[in-house]
Amino acid sequence: MLVRSNQRVLLFFLAAVLLPCAGLVVVSARSLRQERELAEKRAADERSRASREARQALERRLDAIATEGRREREARTGIVSWRYADSSLQLLADVRDGRVVLPWERHPMSSVVDADALSAALRAGERAEFTNGDVRAAAASYRAAVDLAARSRRPGEARLALARVSSKLGDQREASVQYTALLQVGFNDTDQQGIPYALYAASALARRDADGSLRTLIEAAASGIDLPPEALYLARQALDTIAATKPDSRIPSLRRLLDERIRRVEQTISLRDDFSRLGLIPSPSTLADDRSSRWSLFGRDPWFIAVSADSARGLATLVAVDAARLIDDVNRSAALGARSVSSRLQLGTSPTPGEGEEKLPWHGVFFTYAAGGRALSTGFTRPVYLGILSVVPGVTLFGAYLLWRDVRRELRVAELRSQFVASVSHELKTPLTAIRMFAETLARATVRDPEARQEYLLTIVNETERLSRLLNNVLDFSRIERGQREYQLRPTALDTVVHRSAHTLQYPLSQQGLSLRVDVADDVPLVQADEDALQQAVLNLLTNAMKYSGSSSEIDLTLHRANGEAIIAVRDHGLGIPPAYRDRVVEKFFRVPAPETAGIPGAGLGLTLVDHIVRGHGGRLEIESLAGSGSTFSIHLPVGQSS
């Protein structure tokens, strides 16, 4: 009946709670999936829009740089500066007949003017120096050229030649004068290769006039003149000579600047040499459109390069932009920052986009994105659904667990009660049967032997006491369960309790062939205790020892004092308790599930009552046992509390 009742409760719980919860979970999961799909679509649209805006921002920036650079290029005459208005711009060069004309190749920079007196004096000096080997005649011609060059804006070639032959003649003073004058010439006066004569002078005076040479090199590096690679190499060589001769704190930064310019110039030359293979040569249709451009990446330090058409002149301009710097500028701009997707452009080398990347039209340029605060958010709905999906099943499962635990506990209690009723009935039936049998025998007056009659009477008395102990145990357990068991504590002699308990069980022990050895110490003082309750506890321990002694016939009952406690110990040498059940033997209705104990009567209340009585006296019950070697149950009571 109880099982069927529990099953009905479980079915009702499933119908009333689990089914609605399951429906709620299904609806929540479906709504959450739809919300997630919508959020993913919004995120994809946002990423697509961000990628499109990033590409457009980069293209607009590149086109603006190309347009402004071309205008700047057309506005400049003479020597070209490498310091353009936009810091990202690295190169502007004309494209003529399918080849790139570099800035230092665009304007002839020689100081020689044919068919005039200055040119004639220089040529005469060169014939005397290199053809005839007459250094002095050459010096005279070069000195005349210097005098003529005083009225020219480019006297560099004449002064350099005079300084050279003066050094050959051993006139270092004259050579230094000319080199020093060359340092003041500036950087617009160059030779046929575009190398300023001032750099020749700085290189020659690097050891003799380090300060003057260093000033010239600093001016050359900071001037912004687009120098050919040979000029930069000469400047770096002179700087290294100065560094070895006279260290200066300005040299490291100057060296880094020269190295940067050399890398730029070397990449510029590489671009010129590879231009025909890049597919950027403009066609007539390209030149007809001012806005046409085709951007691609080039170089170890990547540049965006394109050919920008100039329909007004019918020419084209090669534009090179520092890719890394430009991308940083675009990433810092507001165009990529004001959106719910955190996005940025970056350079890469992978042939295909990685996770979270979208490849732009230019090889090596990727658009990366990361979901921002609202890109993949499902608003307030998602936390609610997640809360429902987590809390409701959790609460339901917890409730199911509590119900299962209660049902299991009720079933266990019902089973224990059934076992208890059966055990108590058996325990009651045995003494009642013995009492009735011996009483009927005595009533028929068939026993004439006085010793037999006395034995029958003692048996009746013993079984009556046994029956009383069993009933007292049941009544005490009932009071304990209701919380009504109280102990009347008063000064008590424990030796009296021990001897009375031994005397009470003397006859049952002798009937079972057991011997009880009692050892009572003399130094045990009075303790505050309920004598009847304590005697009941000792009797329960002795009764258990009698039941579980097995083949052993000896039981020890001792009383002694140790560590401020009075200890009553009952020891048997019988079955013992397995370690797994040692801590459970004091539980109500618990009996060790072993074949050896299956036929031993008992209700599983004795040790429960002993433990409760001992704790009620402020003491503790200790159990020492080993399976097959017997058990020792010790009642530890505090001493020194008597008045």
Residue 206 has pLDDT above 70, yes or no: yes
For residue 616, the domain's CATH number is 3.30.565.10
Residue 248 has pLDDT above 70, yes or no: yes
Q: What is the pLDDT of residue 283?
A: 63
| Rounded mean pLDDT, 353-361 | 62
Q: What is the pLDDT of residue 390?
A: 67
Domain annotation covers residue 291? no
User: Which amino acid makes up residue 364?
Assistant: G
- What's the count of helices (H) and strands (E) in the chain, helices before strands? 19, 15
* pLDDT tens readout for residues 394-431: 766 676 677 667 767 776 666 656 655 555 555 555 56
* pLDDT tens readout for residues 441-500: 666 766 667 776 676 677 777 667 666 666 666 665 566 666 656 777 889 888 888 888
Percent of the chain whose predicted confidence (pLDDT) is above 70? 66
| Rounded mean pLDDT, 550-558 | 84
Q: What is the pLDDT of residue 109?
A: 45
Band of the pLDDT at 299, cuts 50, 70, 90? confident
Residue 344 has pLDDT above 60, yes or no: yes
Residue ending a domain, among 277, 308, 326, is 277
Q: What is the pLDDT of residue 636?
A: 92
What is the overall mean pLDDT for the chain? 75
Token pair recorded at residue 356 = 């979270």
Residue 111 has pLDDT above 50, yes or no: no
Domain annotation covers residue 500? yes
Residue 126's contacts (CB-CB under 8 Å, 6 or more residues apart) are 138, 161
Q: What is the pLDDT of residue 497?
A: 85
Domain count along the chain: 2
* pLDDT tens readout for residues 134-169: 888 888 988 888 888 876 666 888 888 888 888 888
Question: Cα 2 vs. chain centroid, distance in angstroms?
Answer: 54
Helix axes 381-443, 450-482, angle to 10 degrees: 160
425/433 Cα distance (integer angstroms): 12
With residue 572 as reference, give the H or E element that holds it. Answer: strand 565-572
Instruction: Report which of residues 485 and 186 the model is more confident about.
Output: 186
Measured CA distances, 569 to 401, 490, 541, 561 (Å): 43, 22, 9, 11
| Rounded mean pLDDT, 268-288 | 76
Residue ending a domain, among 254, 277, 300, is 277
Domain annotation covers residue 79? no
Helix axes 531-547, 450-482, angle to 10 degrees: 110
User: Which amino acid makes up residue 120?
Assistant: A
Domain annotation covers residue 448? no
Q: What is the pLDDT of residue 284?
A: 59
For residue 193, the domain's CATH number is 1.25.40.10
Band of the pLDDT at 609, cuts 50, 70, 90? confident
Residue ending a domain, among 277, 300, 328, is 277
Domain annotation covers residue 325? no
Q: What is the DSSP letter of 131?
A: I
Q: What is the pLDDT of residue 569?
A: 92
Q: What is the pLDDT of residue 56?
A: 82
Q: Is 273 helix (H, G, I), strand (E, B) or coil?
A: helix
Residue 77 has pLDDT above 80, yes or no: no
Q: What is the pLDDT of residue 370?
A: 58
- Burial class from Cβ neighbours inside 10 Å (0-12, 13-18, 19+) for residue 253 reads exposed
Band of the pLDDT at 34, cuts 50, 70, 90? confident
Residue 319 has pLDDT above 80, yes or no: yes
Q: What is the pLDDT of residue 38?
A: 83
Q: What is the pLDDT of residue 374?
A: 44
Residue 396 contacts residue 28 (beta carbons within 8 Å): no
Domain annotation covers residue 264? yes
Residue 65 has pLDDT above 60, yes or no: yes
Domain annotation covers residue 589? yes
Residue 414 contacts residue 3 (beta carbons within 8 Å): no
Q: How many CB atoms are closer than 10 A to CB 619?
A: 22
Name the residue range of residue 587's domain: 488-643
Residue 375 has pLDDT above 50, yes or no: no
| Rounded mean pLDDT, 5-10 | 61
Domain annotation covers residue 254? yes
389/24 Cα distance (integer angstroms): 8
Q: What is the pLDDT of residue 17?
A: 64
